[in-house]
Copies of this chain bind each other. A is one copy, B any other.
Amino acid sequence: MTESISREEARRRTIRMLEQIGVVLTEEEKAKVEVTDMGLGELEKSGLQLITYINTDRYCAKDLVLMPRQTCPEHRHPPLSETNPGKMETFRCRFGKVFLYVEGTPAASPKAIPPAGSEACYTVFHEIELNPGEQYTIPPNTLHWFQAGDEGAVVSEFSSTSDDESDIFTDPRIRRLPD
């Protein structure tokens, strides 16, 4: 086993990947890049790096960065009120490849497999492959997870308001920690 990389190294790699594909960040934004292992302690396998550009009570925009084969664990965005059916997300791939899994007919030969040891916490396998310029919109309250291909990935996320605390993860060990 390789030793897990540090959050600080993940943050540096994230900034480098964004710069390489032409994303310009201010110094303040670089300092605000988030790295989360969702409390699982295996960042290279399970986790996510991201920068939030804007999150208002109406909409949200982020760039998500995944290291090679890193997986964002299965979760859904539940209804929050009478008028809010839950977060709706559009993922637009900008670099690399993303294998996105949602509810629906499972892929016969999925191109990504859940992280070893966490298989029980992955239950949906309808596969959407996103290459640069391709995008997919996930309806509210729909289970989903995603994994980068062998080069990692950069994904722009356009969505309704983001309220991470309300996300429901399939893996009961996951707590979404603030940085």
A interface residues, how many (CB within 8 angstroms): 28
A22 at the interface (CB under 8 A from B): yes
Contact of A134 among B26, B54, B137, B156 (CB under 8 A): B26
Give the Cβ gap from A179 to chain B, nearest Cβ, in Å: 21
Contact with B along A39-73 (1 / 0, CB 8 A): 00000000000000110101111000000000000
| Residues of A123-137 whose CB lies within 8 A of B | 132-135, 137
Contact with B along A90-111 (1 / 0, CB 8 A): 1010100000000000000000
* B contact residues around A54 at 8 Å (CB): 90, 92, 135, 137, 158
Let me know if A61 and B90 touch, CB within 8 A: yes
List the interface of chain A (C-beta within 8 A of B).
Answer: 21-26, 29, 53-54, 56, 58-61, 83, 88, 90, 92, 94, 132-135, 137, 156, 158-160
